[in-house]
Structures are given as structure tokens and as C-alpha cells.
Amino acid sequence: MRKAIRSEMAIMVDYNQSLTPPEAVRRLRVLDDEGLTWVEEPVLAHDYQGHALVAREIKTPIQCGENWWGPHDMKQAIEAGASDYMMPDVMKIGGVTGWMRAASLAEAYSIPLSNHLWPEISTQLMCATPTAHFLEYANWWNSVLAEPLELEQGMAIVKGITGSGVAWNEKAVERFLA
């Protein structure tokens, strides 16, 4: 992939918690000079010490957060030095309130914050996040949304949308009702 796109685009790698810390260190040392933007969840999400070990041993930034349940999980990760970047999931971190607490933690520790999925509401929240980093985007829900999130040149367009940014296309939703 790096050869194909050179340095024109960011490449992120996601192991989805599949490695042990020693295996992660072994594999990621091989990738360390590829200029990856981040490596996501190389080991179990709640193995903060394991992630900290990997973070110490490799140069590529570690990215974690999509499986943290509430800001207290994030606090433990910060205290362990588990992750260079963080990407909470707005649903798991505790909705808007949980997100804003996570954003405050990220600001206090100068940690770049991205989101995990839910790009519509996450775009709104990222606008209020002092250390906002990447917006993770997926269009999986577009078919049931009244106004899917618009993108221009890789950037989400907020266009004065207020609230959660999510309104259902009720007709489309009906098709999926039993």
C-alpha cells in the first residue's frame, strides 16, 4: 500500500486486539519505518500495561479507545501510558456527556483525540474537542438517515447542523421493521 500511494495519504493499521504484547512488538518493529499514522489496538483493549509496553518499544503511534467504557477507562489508559492517540466511541464513552469528559482529559494531557464510528454525531463533538485529530468515517447508516453527512475533499461538512446531526429517514427505517 505504501508503495502504491507513496506518502500522499495516511495509512492506519488496526489489529482489533488480536496480538499478545510480545507478538505486537515483533510485528510492529517490521512496520515501524512505513510511516503509518497509527497502529490501533494491537493487544486487548483493557490490557493497558500491555499497550504501554508496545508503545515504549515501537516508534509508530498507538491508537486505542474504541472499546473503553466511560472516561474512567480512558483515565486508566492515560495513567498507564497505554496510547499516544485516543479514539473513544461516543456510545461506549457515555454519550455526549462522556465524550465531553473524555475531551477534557485529552486536552489536559495534550492527547490528539479521534472518534470511533458514528461520524454524524462525532463530527459535531469533534468541533467542540480542543485536541480534535482524525474523524473516522463510515457510510454504513446512510440509507436510513434523512441527511447523510456530507464530505468534501476528505473533510466532513457541518453546515450549521445543530443537535446530534442525526435525523432518520422514517420511510427507509420502515423497510427494516418486522
Rounded to whole angstroms, how far apart are CA atoms 125 and 166? 13
All cell numbers assigned to 61: 503511534
Question: Minimum distance between the CB of residue 160 and Mg ion, rounded to whole angstroms?
Answer: 30
CA separation for the pair 136, 90 (Å, rounded): 12
Minimum Å distance from CB 67 to Mg ion?
Answer: 9
Q: In the numeric block, which cell numbers belong to residue 107?
A: 486536552
Going by C-alpha positions, the residue among 92, 74, 71 that lies closest to residue 63 is 74
* In the complex, least distance from residue 17 CB atom to Mg ion, rounded to whole angstroms: 9
**16/150 with CB nearer Mg ion:** 16
Q: Output 89 or 120, the one with its CB closest to Mg ion.
A: 89
Binding site for Mg ion (CB under 5 A): 14, 40, 66
Nearest-CB residue to Mg ion? Answer: 14
| Sign of the alpha-carbon torsion through 61, 64, 66, 71 | negative
User: Which of 39, 80, 45 has the alpha carbon at shortest distance from 60?
Assistant: 39
Residue whose CB is less far from Mg ion, 21 or 42:
42
CB nearer to Mg ion: pick between 14 and 174: 14
Is residue 125 within 8 A of residue 103, CB to CB? The reply is yes
Torsion (CA) 149, 150, 155, 156 in degrees, nearest 10:
-30
Quote the least distance from Cβ 156 to Mg ion, whole Å.
18
Q: Which is nearer to Mg ion, 114 or 131 (CB)?
A: 114
Q: Compute the distance between CA of residue 33 and CA of residue 29 in angstroms, rounded to an integer.
A: 8
